[in-house]
């Protein structure tokens, strides 16, 4: 029995977004119980998502809200489902909406703040005279501009038919390579910086070609649905033209059979494919490309504890921030 598509490529997408993000990388150490809880949390969330979809199909398979015009697009099915099930309970739909907004805003704020810090310290600080006040002002301006960009981006994204598919398609171009580069650095000591960069670039180029080539071809056969059991009167917002179509059964036609094409693969697999390309091409490119002069020596602290003791290496000098070096000198 094949695994559900949400659970097969899902870990690559989830790990690419969460496990290597700046917020988690700042944690001093991850212990095994925390890793286990992280994995259990992922399985629970994905299981709840799949179970919610199954319940929604069981409820609406013979009276599809999308077919009768109660819902304009698939992305609005879950709010409609919550309103339909718990609308009679005072305050429950509001609790659901507040939870969605709080989760989205907390994730967005943490991501934008982390992005502001990364941009400043990696691209701006080396070219200016650094002070704490100047750093705070620049990062706040960057966060403000990024917030405005997200607002206008949300207005545009609202016009798309499926936000989830668009996010997976665009994010799948780079998420897999990011996860692959981190695993190469932790598990494959042979791979140096140039090889990892080339492998990441190869993955991004391949995934960009795949995403562009599959645009308009990602059409999947839907589950059989109908409107046979819809009530004769729905609500005051239902138009007369919609009521005429209540007894029309929605026929589902299978897609014409054709040979296998990589461009027909589901968008759920994009991050996993990019991850595999990076993980496979990295060691190969490490034998083709020569490392930079400062990448010959290996820093064992960057390796996973599982393989650290099986690798012979020459200790590399540790990089220390100038602020910490100055503080140590003052203390001594």
The pTM of this model reads 0.67
| Tokens at 15, concatenated | 């790990």
Q: What is the mean pLDDT of each run of 10 residues along the chain (332 residues)?
A: 49 62 55 71 82 88 83 83 86 87 84 85 86 90 90 80 76 84 84 88 91 76 77 51 42 54 81 89 88 69 73 58 69 70
Contact status, residue 20 vs residue 42, Cβ threshold 8 Å: no
The pLDDT of residue 198: 92
Distance (Å, whole) CA 216 – CA 171? 17
Reduced 3-state DSSP string for the chain:
CCCCCCCCCHHHHHHHHHHCCHHHHCCCCCCHHHHHHHHHHHHHHHHHHHHHHHHHHHHHCCCCHHHHCCCCCHHHHHHHHHHHHHCCCCCHHHHHHHHHHHHHHHHHHHHHHHHHHHHHHHHHHHHCCCCHHHHHHHHHHHHHHHHHHHHHHHHHHCCCCCHHHHHHHHHHHHHHHHHHHHHHHHHCCCCCHHHHHHHHHHHHHHHHHHHHHCCCCCCCCCCCCCCCCCCCCCCCCCCHHHHCCCCCCCCCCCCCCCCCCHHHCCHHHHHHHHHHHHHHHHHHHHHHCCCCHHHCCECHHHCCHHHHCCCCCCECCCCCCHHHHHHHHHHC
The pLDDT of residue 306: 75
The pLDDT of residue 312: 66
The pLDDT of residue 247: 42
The pLDDT of residue 140: 92
266, with CB counted inside 10 A (0-12, 13-18, 19+), is: middle
The pLDDT of residue 204: 92
């Amino acid at each position: 029995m094949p695994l559900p598509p949400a659970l097969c490529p899902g870990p690559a997408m989830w790990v690419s977004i969460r496990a290597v993000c700046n917020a988690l990388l700042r944690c001093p150490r991850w212990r095994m119980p925390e890793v286990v809880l992280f994995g259990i949390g992922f399985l629970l969330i994905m299981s709840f998502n799949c179970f919610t979809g199954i319940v929604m199909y069981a409820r609406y398979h013979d009276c599809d809200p999308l077919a009768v015009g109660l819902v304009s697009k698939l992305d609005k099915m879950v709010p409609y489902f919550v309103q339909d099930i718990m609308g009679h309970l005072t305050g429950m739909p509001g609790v659901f909406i507040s939870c969605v907004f709080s989760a989205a805003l907390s994730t967005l704020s943490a991501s934008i703040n982390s992005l502001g810090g990364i941009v400043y310290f990696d691209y701006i600080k080396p070219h200016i005279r650094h002070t704490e006040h100047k750093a705070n002002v620049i990062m706040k301006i960057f966060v403000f501009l990024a917030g405005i960009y997200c607002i206008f981006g949300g207005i545009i994204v609202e016009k798309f038919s499926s936000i989830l598919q668009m996010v997976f398609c665009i994010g799948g171009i780079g998420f897999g390579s990011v996860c692959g580069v981190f695993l190469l650095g932790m598990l494959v000591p042979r791979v140096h910086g140039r090889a990892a960069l080339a492998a990441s670039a190869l993955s991004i180029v391949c995934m960009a070609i795949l995403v562009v080539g599959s645009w308009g071809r990602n059409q999947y056969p839907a589950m059989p649905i109908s409107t046979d059991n819809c009530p004769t009167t729905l609500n005051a917002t239902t138009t007369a033209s919609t009521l005429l179509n209540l007894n029309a059964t929605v026929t589902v036609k299978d897609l014409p059979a054709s040979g296998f094409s990589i461009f027909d693969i589901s968008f759920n697999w994009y991050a996993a494919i990019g991850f595999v390309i990076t993980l496979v091409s990295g060691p190969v490119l490490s034998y083709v490309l020569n490392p930079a002069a400062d990448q010959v020596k290996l820093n064992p602290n960057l390796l996973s504890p599982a393989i650290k003791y099986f690798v012979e290496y020459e200790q590399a000098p540790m990089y220390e921030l100038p602020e910490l070096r100055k503080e140590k000198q003052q203390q001594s």
